[in-house]
């Protein structure tokens, strides 16, 4: 799917400007081969058609502060999540909300988190001087909920649960997670990061939004960066009990931008794009897992737009070999030093990865 202003158009404009300025071209230079970026869990099919149209329409409004768009998206999300406006906080991606949570909560107590998991809140909390309890994943690389419950004490400020988990893609059973959240929320705020929840197979897990809605000490985070394909426009949101959300709002450092807000609002109602995207990403996730397993490479049962695979070699070596095939894959996630996270790309990028894999694995 072409982006609104294509790379080619941009390069064409740059080349025209260059020529007009009389800058000499380097003779004989070979154009750089495009690298397939399968390293950042983006959705290469986005933005969807409705978001693209909204982005174009919002350009003219960019001279204004984004208050109107902000209010509109807030109201739409409140309807979408079946909560009041005061139960939602918008952020510049859910990443900003993770920073805000660290600022507000973990200064007062330690952070309990599974490990490895998405490390944005952990890294930020540690920069703030907070102490972090990392609870290893279980043998199936899922959150070890009993161990996390045991690690939570009166000194805990916040418990972070990433479901499905990044980088392993594993999800925990919905009713077990409900029980865990209800129990642990008696002692500390529980944050459930559902960045990839729209991509799970039916029955694999459940959203914890009903707990947030019911006023439990639970905040659910969502983002427009994954299934909506709007990572570069930086919109995410949290859902939670009104007092928790008011505390969080005080930590806000940025105000979301008009183009992102308008794109998110349009994308929320683009059911066709969301369904098509989910289908395409799920089919290719399955294909990637099947090929890996057929090659004897162990894979988790990933529920995100990425796979987690035991490459049989240090992840850094796998990454270098993949780069030689113009494919960028994820970084190391200790202690799983031979495992690598590979994002699902476009169909063509997935084909490129699957064609390279047997050669990389055998080299």
Ligand X SMILES: Cc1ncc(COP(=O)(O)O)c(C=O)c1O
CB atoms within 10 A of CB 232: 13
What are the structure tokens assigned to 34, written together?
A: 């495009």
Residue 93 lies near ligand X (rule: CB under 6 A): yes
Would you say 41 or 244 has its CB closer to ligand X?
41
Task: Answer yes or no: are the C-beta atoms of 293 and 299 closer than 8 Å.
Answer: yes
Using CB atoms, what's the residue nearest to ligand X?
Answer: 93
Q: How far apart are CA 158 and CA 102, in angstroms?
A: 8
Would you say 184 or 231 has its CB closer to ligand X?
231
DSSP class per residue in 139-195: TTSS--HHHHHHH--TTEEEEEEESS-TTT-----HHHHHHHHHHHTTTSEEEEE-T
Minimum distance of ligand X from residue 292's CB (angstroms): 21
Would you say 193 or 284 has its CB closer to ligand X?
193
Count of positions on this chain that bind ligand X (CB under 6 A): 13
Would you say 223 or 302 has its CB closer to ligand X?
223
Q: How far apart are CA 356 and CA 322, in angstroms?
A: 7
Residue 318 lies near ligand X (rule: CB under 6 A): no
Considering only residues 39, 152, 225, 258, which one is a binding residue for ligand X as defined by CB under 6 A? 225
Would you say 50 or 99 has its CB closer to ligand X?
99
Considering only residues 100, 101, 162, 211, which one is a binding residue for ligand X as defined by CB under 6 A? 162
Q: How far apart are CA 186 and CA 154, in angstroms?
A: 10
Considering only residues 122, 170, 205, 223, which one is a binding residue for ligand X as defined by CB under 6 A? 223
Considering only residues 44, 47, 95, 260, which one is a binding residue for ligand X as defined by CB under 6 A? 95
Secondary structure element (H or E) that encloses residue 15, with its range:
helix 7-20
Task: Answer yes or no: are the C-beta atoms of 39 and 330 closer than 8 Å.
Answer: yes
Residue 231 lies near ligand X (rule: CB under 6 A): yes
Residue 343 lies near ligand X (rule: CB under 6 A): no
Q: Is omega for the bond preceding 335 within 30 degrees of 0, making it cis?
A: yes
Minimum distance of ligand X from residue 14's CB (angstroms): 28
Q: How far apart are CA 279 and CA 273, in angstroms?
A: 10
What are the structure tokens assigned to 254, written together?
A: 């940025």
Question: Which of these ranges, 197-205, 223-231, 254-262, 343-351, lies near ligand X under the rule CB under 6 A?
Answer: 223-231
Q: How far apart are CA 44 and CA 37, in angstroms?
A: 9
Residue 118 lies near ligand X (rule: CB under 6 A): yes
* String marking each residue 281-310 x if it binds ligand X according to CB under 6 A: ------------------------------
Considering only residues 66, 94, 152, 205, which one is a binding residue for ligand X as defined by CB under 6 A? 94
Minimum distance of ligand X from residue 23's CB (angstroms): 36
User: Do the bridges between strand 236-239 and strand 189-193 make them parallel or antiparallel, or are there none, so unpaired?
Assistant: unpaired
Nearest Cα to 225, choosing from 100, 97, 109? 97
Residues between 169 and 208 that touch ligand X (CB under 6 A): 193, 195
Question: Which of these ranges, 5-13, 87-95, 240-248, 314-322, lies near ligand X under the rule CB under 6 A?
Answer: 87-95
Residue 44 lies near ligand X (rule: CB under 6 A): no
* String marking each residue 233-262 x if it binds ligand X according to CB under 6 A: ---x--------------------------
- C-alpha pair distances (Å), 27 with each of 20, 144, 195: 17, 58, 46
Q: How far apart are CA 174 and CA 181, in angstroms?
A: 10
Q: Which residues in this chain contact ligand X in the complex, by CB under 6 A?
A: 41, 93-95, 118, 162, 166, 193, 195, 223, 225, 231, 236
């Amino acid at each position: 799917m072409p982006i609104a202003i294509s790379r080619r158009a941009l390069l064409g404009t740059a080349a025209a400007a260059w020529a007009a300025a009389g800058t000499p071209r380097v003779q004989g230079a070979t154009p750089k081969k495009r690298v397939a970026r399968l390293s950042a869990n983006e959705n290469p099919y986005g933005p969807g058609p409705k978001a693209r149209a909204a982005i174009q329409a919002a350009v003219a409004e960019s001279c204004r502060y984004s208050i109107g768009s902000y209010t509109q998206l807030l109201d739409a999300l409140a309807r979408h999540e079946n909560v009041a406006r005061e139960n939602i906080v918008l952020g510049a991606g859910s990443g900003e909300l993770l920073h805000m949570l660290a600022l507000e909560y973990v200064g007062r107590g330690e952070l309990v988190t599974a490990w490895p998991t998405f490390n944005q809140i952990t890294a930020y909390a540690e920069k703030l001087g907070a102490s972090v309890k990392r609870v290893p994943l279980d043998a199936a690389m899922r959150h070890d909920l009993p161990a996390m419950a045991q690690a939570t004490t009166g000194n805990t400020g916040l418990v972070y649960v990433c479901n499905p988990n990044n980088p392993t893609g594993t999800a925990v059973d919905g009713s077990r997670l409900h029980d865990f959240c209800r129990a642990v929320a008696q002692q500390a705020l529980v944050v459930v990061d559902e960045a990839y929840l729209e991509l799970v197979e039916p029955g694999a897990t459940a959203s914890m939004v009903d707990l947030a809605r019911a006023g439990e000490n639970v905040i659910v985070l969502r983002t427009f960066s994954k299934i909506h394909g709007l990572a570069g426009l930086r919109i995410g949101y949290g859902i939670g009990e009104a007092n928790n959300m008011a505390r969080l709002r005080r930590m806000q450092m940025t105000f979301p931008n008009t183009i992102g807000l308008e794109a998110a609002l349009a994308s929320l109602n683009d059911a066709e794009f969301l369904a098509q995207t989910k289908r395409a990403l799920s089919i290719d996730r399955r294909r990637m897992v099947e090929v890996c397993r057929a090659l004897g490479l162990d894979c988790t049962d990933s529920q995100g737009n990425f796979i987690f695979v035991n490459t049989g070699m240090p992840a850094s070596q796998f990454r270098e070999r993949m780069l030689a095939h113009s494919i960028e894959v994820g970084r190391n996630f200790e202690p799983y030093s031979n495992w690598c996270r590979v994002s699902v790309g476009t169909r063509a990028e997935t084909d490129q990865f699957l064609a390279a894999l047997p050669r990389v694995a055998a080299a």
